[in-house]
Chains A and B, each alone.
Chain A
Amino acid sequence: MQKAEIHWSPNDRNQLAEIGAEIIIHTFDRPLSGESGKCVLGGTNKKTTSLNYPLHEKNNIKCCAWWPSQEYPYVFAIGQPNGRIIFENVKDRSDPLSQGRIVIDTKQGRPCVALAWNPKIPNLLLSGFDRYRSENCLSVWDINHNGMSSPSLQTGTGITSSSSSNVDEYKRVDMLMHNQQVWKPIFDHGLNEQCHSLAWFKPNEKIFAACTTAHNQRNIRVYDIRVPSTHVISFPTKAPFNLCCDSSERYIAASVDKTIYVYDSRVPEKALIVREEHEPIVKLSWSRIGSSQLGYCIRDSPKFHVLSVSTNDTDIFVHRILQCPIQRYRIGLASFDWNYFDEHRLVLLSGKEYFDYVIPSRSTICYSPRNGLLWTNGLEMYPSVINQDHTQLTSKVLLTYNLSNVQNDRRNLTPTQSTLNTELIQMDLKTMTKETQMTIEQIERWIKNANTTRDPYPFVGVIEALREAQPSSTSTLTHQSWTSTGNSTHTKTVYESPERQIVSQLCGWSNVDTKSGGYDRMASLLEQDEYEKVAALYIFQMNVNKALEVLNEGLQRGGKEELATLILALVGSIRATSTNNDDNTLINDFSSVTKLFHRPYVRSMFAFILTQDGNDLQYECVLDEQLDLNDKVAFAARYLNDDRLYDKLDKLADESRKKGDLQGILLTGLRQNGCELIQKYLDQTNDIRTAALLAIYVPEDVHQECQYVQEWIEGFRLLLDELQLWSERAEFDIYRSHVTGTTPHRRHHDRSMNMNHHFSCIFCQTPLEAHHGMSNQTSTTNSSSTPIPTTPSKPQGRGSQPNNQNRSSGSSSYAPPPNSELLMVCAKCRQVLPRCSICMMNLTTYIEDASYAYEPPPDKHALMSSQWFTWCRLCRHGGHAEHVSNWFAMNEQCPIAKCLCRCTLIDGVFF
């Protein structure tokens, strides 16, 4: 044997023999997953060599076969060039079988080219030989019987296939082999032929296949050893080598040079598949267990090829190439072997490296709008690998915003103008992370504050607000001293102006202001036990008494001892600054010590106290600390002069824009800079919801400059559509229109007019004016005074329409008004307005309950609401959603006569 051959043990699923100059048994360390026959996928490389069995000089190996026997798991049959077959027990050298003592000697010195144990009846050994005069080239030996006194094979009594009797068998072998010097095969065939390769075909029926050459004619023949005279099947072939048979006992494969032939034993005349490779075939072998897979490797190629066959009626071979997973230097795959026990498992040999490998089953995943994540792996499919409430983290990420639960709460609210403004944001906050939540609450406050203090609606941001005011009002400069120490000589320069005052309000620094919406930042911080932070904020406002009070309170409430230290240090440092300006050493001492504090608010608090006053201070010691952005802004607005203030604010705005820090909106406002900031945030987080909610507040003129703002809104709406959160999408639309409806040019309209502009003519986009006589009926019929603009989210129009049209038609909002005279015709363009195709009423007619007409289907889709209406995208017929859904519960054609459209086939939403 020129090169090493590898062979899995038929007796132990993790053992492997390397047969070269010696026989080496390797054991792979492979944890089993628990179920028998199923291993952990992938490969392990961990290999221990348990046995190293040097062969004797005389034991030239021509071919080799591992005896399948649980009792004696390390016995090999070795075919030699001189025609002898010897047995070796590589585990136990003292075994009488070893050392070539037991020999099946065929006398004629022709090489033994192939050996195969019958895997099911392990006492049968099949051997193939070269041609030698008038000798048979194929022999089957029964090692239980030497053939001299062979019981009739046909009776079947002498042969057992159960491995439990192997002990006895083996003992008999032992005895027989010692006693009998001359062996006689129980089956002998192939006179004057040359055997190339052979394999058991149907082991249970003692049928094998072999390829032989007789008179330059190569044939693959199938023999039944119970029929000694002749072959069962015979067909000519071009491929004499690597003959192998699949486990389904149907296919035979063989190769010659670069070509593989696969035959179906039922129709053997024509090869089922002929596959040509670029390089000669090194090894070809069917998998030993499970579905039929034909593996092969070719010379100088690191790839392992698999043809798998499906066992259906028609034969399909699938070519799959696997890269040898251990090859690093593009070394060719030398050999491989399929495992006897585990499906898809094989060992790959590349260079000197072994790899215990399981061919992976294909596993795919896809996201589902409803179920989270869908995963298929092999034969199994998992509908939701990640549950929606899996962890807080994933529930957020998978965008199951669960808006509907919260929505019920808000139904109870009276939809007054003021709550409408903010409730959507509030509703959303419940599913956000705390951080984002805080930020958005803050932004919401800014918007509200800006609304009350400034006339124009949009929130322009601190920078803009200050700049606008700059030419008219200048900051006044005052010197403020510490309040606690009456005799203080130490002062700080404070700049004041109405605008600066507003800024500090926005930042939550002034809790005296009633306009800030009842929000007391200090109080909420105190609730979170942030005493040091609050103290620092009071210190920044030079209110020492309050700061000390807070710290005391914290101490009494069971705060840490550190707070006491802080109180002492505070008093001390203020004393140090106030006693005498000459006493710089004390100040220096204090500042060097207080720099060692870990918490930024504490550190900056002392740094502020100990800073010497001046007109042109930059306060890096405070402003470069890790403080909240609004604290920095408020601080800067109080202690920096105008030039420094603008510099600093620009710098801060720039930083937060680069970081995508939403807090920066305080500075940038919702102008272009702010939009860029949000885009940055969106790029980082993909939190389209936050972006879309903020985008609502972006004024219209900014939309022109930053068209992506519109894209956020559209993206969010499309996403809600895909998630089938149609009500939520509608609410979003209503909310949006309310916000934009409060823009100056609309604010003169009264409430009913405000609602009316929700529906407009689909042809000319003219708002439909409701008839004036309706108003006294309004309150009785309208249960929910929130009109729902509908278009249930199905993408409008056909694909051939341009994109922007698609969207605009999708967003054209109608609503059934509380009650109205029939609006059949648009007053402007005179086009007939759409009517419900069931009740023939105008679509602006509110219907109370449609179930009188039909039995409601038992499983009514949640979407169906009397407030909605819908239409088919293809035929454009539609009507009140409830009418239409009832209709399609019993019909499938469009309700319009002569319209053959089968609307419900378009998508499955109705079901």
Chain B
Amino acid sequence: MTQINAIDTGHEEIIHDAQLDYYGIRLATCSSDKSIKIFDVSNSQQRLIAELKGHEGPVWQLSWSHPTFGSLLASCSYDRKVLIWKETTPTGLPPQSNPTGATQYSVIYEHERHTSSVNTVAWAPYEYGLMLACGSSDGSISILSSTGDGKWTTRKVPDCHPPGVNALSWAPAVLPQSSDDAGVQGTTGEPVKRFVSGGCDCLIRIWKEQDDGWVEETHLDQHNDWVRDVAWAPTFSFHKDKIASCSQDGNVYVFTRDTRLSNNWECITIGTHFNDVWSVSWSLTGDILAVAAADKVSLWKLGLDGKYQCLTTPQTSSTSTGSPSVNSTMESTTGESGNIPVMAT
């Protein structure tokens, strides 16, 4: 049973991104109206807890850091900036005198080294510490990192996708696999940091850190139009990499690599043409791929025949056949909204 209830975010213009934090408790949305809104969704209802204004242009994308770092929020915008937000309390006020329970976020870092719109932003796996990558229409990608002392170092990789970078995704942190002649496998050393990017040059490029710099490991040229989104799948294997990508050309591909066998990426196409496909996303275990295209979302899973099979395509129109359980909770929770404890924050 498909049940879809649209949330009213109150954004005045198109929402460009919505991201949940690690635990799925806070929801951040960003829009062309230059604002970012933070919702508390812990009680299966949405409560606006903060509205962040700081960007001077449409905000394209958001990314929550791992809670180890206190759930920082990074946002990127048409105004060429990347802002990193942190939840703060208004100083000098004892918590009890703050009856609204309003949560405040303040910008702890501002990155303005791009010369054009910054289209994508993504925190690295927490194992690497505070590290952030952002890609811009000026074709470059910046890697920001901090040891947590408030100072940020930036490493800029120029000309990654000369016509512009559209999407970024970090590889999960897994230790590199070594395999000796006897076939005994083990792990060696530090994990190699990798991420994948897609851009307007119709290419997908895979980058890895090497000698304090970032080099292109390989690129994939299956797409023949702009790459809209890339997503590196979470994995439980040391030696398996999986990337999904979607492009303006209407194709969605999944690239896999088994580093035990070779370093070449194999391409599996999802055998459907998508109109205006925008976004791809892996489930937490990396087995289900969700594809957002035009006005519908579809789920895909690799079948035993080696082809991706569509699991479901939920309909957009909310029908009266919605599951009553969700409906009732929505109603009851909105009715009890006064009972939300005012937390001193």
Interface residues of A (CB under 8 A from B): 40-43, 291, 308, 310, 312, 314, 316, 318-319, 321, 323, 360-371, 373-387, 389-391, 393-394, 397-399, 679, 682-688, 691, 705-708, 711-712, 715, 719, 722-724, 794-795, 797-800, 803, 806, 857-859, 873-874, 889-892, 902, 904-911
Which residues in A have their C-beta under 8 angstroms from that of B147? Answer: 800
Which residues in A have their C-beta under 8 angstroms from that of B42? Answer: 370, 908, 911
Which residues in B have their C-beta under 8 angstroms from that of A386? Answer: 2, 297, 299, 312, 314
Which residues in B have their C-beta under 8 angstroms from that of A688? Answer: 236, 285
A43 touching B7, Cβ below 8 Å: no
| Those 6 A-B pairs whose CB atoms lie nearest each other, nearest first | A686-B287, A360-B276, A42-B275, A370-B24, A369-B24, A907-B67
Which residues in A have their C-beta under 8 angstroms from that of B237? Answer: 679, 682-683, 708
Which residues in B have their C-beta under 8 angstroms from that of A890? Answer: 96, 344
Q: Which of B310-345 contact A (CB under 8 A)?
A: 311-312, 314, 316, 323, 326, 339-341, 343-345
**Which of A376, A397, A679, A910 contacts B283, CB < 8 Å?**
A397
Which residue of chain A has the shortest Cβ distance to B237 in the bound complex?
A683
How many angstroms from the CA of A310 to the CA of B264 in the assembled complex?
Answer: 45
CB < 8 Å A-B pair total: 292
How many angstroms from the CA of A370 to the CA of B22 in the assembled complex?
Answer: 10
Chain B's interface size range is: 35 or more
- Chain A min CB distance to B153 (Å): 14
Which residues in B have their C-beta under 8 angstroms from that of A374? Answer: 18, 20, 27
User: Does B142 lie at the interface of the complex (its beta carbon under 8 Å from any beta carbon of A)?
Assistant: no
How many angstroms from the CA of A874 to the CA of B67 in the assembled complex?
Answer: 11
User: Does B192 lie at the interface of the complex (its beta carbon under 8 Å from any beta carbon of A)?
Assistant: no
How many angstroms from the CA of A723 to the CA of B316 in the assembled complex?
Answer: 26
A385 touching B314, Cβ below 8 Å: yes
A318 touching B95, Cβ below 8 Å: no
- Chain B min CB distance to A830 (Å): 31
User: Does B21 lie at the interface of the complex (its beta carbon under 8 Å from any beta carbon of A)?
Assistant: yes
B236 touching A381, Cβ below 8 Å: no
Which residues in B have their C-beta under 8 angstroms from that of A712? Answer: 236
How many angstroms from the CA of A387 to the CA of B343 in the assembled complex?
Answer: 29
Give 24 A-B contacts (CB < 8 Å), ordered by A residue: A42-B276, A310-B33, A314-B56, A316-B58, A362-B16, A364-B16, A367-B281, A370-B41, A382-B4, A383-B46, A386-B299, A397-B299, A397-B311, A684-B302, A687-B285, A707-B187, A708-B237, A708-B238, A712-B236, A799-B126, A799-B128, A907-B23, A907-B67, A907-B71
Which residue of chain B has the shortest Cβ distance to A34 in the bound complex?
B317
How many angstroms from the CA of A719 to the CA of B323 in the assembled complex?
Answer: 27
**Which of A363, A380, A797, A908 contacts B25, CB < 8 Å?**
A908
How many angstroms from the CA of A907 to the CA of B69 in the assembled complex?
Answer: 9
Which residues in A have their C-beta under 8 angstroms from that of B262? Answer: none
User: Does B17 lie at the interface of the complex (its beta carbon under 8 Å from any beta carbon of A)?
Assistant: yes
User: Does B259 lie at the interface of the complex (its beta carbon under 8 Å from any beta carbon of A)?
Assistant: no
A889 touching B343, Cβ below 8 Å: yes
**Which of B78, B187, B290, B339 contacts A367, CB < 8 Å?**
B290
| Contact A799/B29 with A41-B275, A722-B284 known, Cβ cut-off 8 Å | no
B236 touching A711, Cβ below 8 Å: yes
User: Does B269 lie at the interface of the complex (its beta carbon under 8 Å from any beta carbon of A)?
Assistant: no
A318 touching B57, Cβ below 8 Å: yes
B24 touching A365, Cβ below 8 Å: no
| Contact A369/B7 with A386-B312, A908-B21 known, Cβ cut-off 8 Å | no
| Contact A799/B130 with A43-B275, A362-B14, A859-B341 known, Cβ cut-off 8 Å | yes
**Which of A382, A795, A909 contacts B126, CB < 8 Å?**
A795
B311 touching A376, Cβ below 8 Å: no
A399 touching B285, Cβ below 8 Å: yes
- Chain A min CB distance to B146 (Å): 10
B279 touching A364, Cβ below 8 Å: yes
How many angstroms from the CA of A363 to the CA of B211 in the assembled complex?
Answer: 38
Which residue of chain B has the shortest Cβ distance to A397 in the bound complex?
B288
User: Does B51 lie at the interface of the complex (its beta carbon under 8 Å from any beta carbon of A)?
Assistant: no
B40 touching A316, Cβ below 8 Å: no
- Chain A min CB distance to B23 (Å): 6
**Which of A318, A369, A683, A715 contacts B20, CB < 8 Å?**
A369
Which residues in B have their C-beta under 8 angstroms from that of A687? Answer: 285, 287
- Chain A min CB distance to B210 (Å): 20
Q: What 18 additional pairs, Cβ within 8 angstroms, besides A314-B56, A391-B312, A799-B69?
A: A42-B276, A312-B34, A316-B79, A363-B279, A365-B279, A366-B18, A371-B41, A376-B15, A376-B18, A383-B41, A393-B312, A394-B299, A707-B187, A799-B66, A806-B127, A889-B344, A911-B25, A911-B341
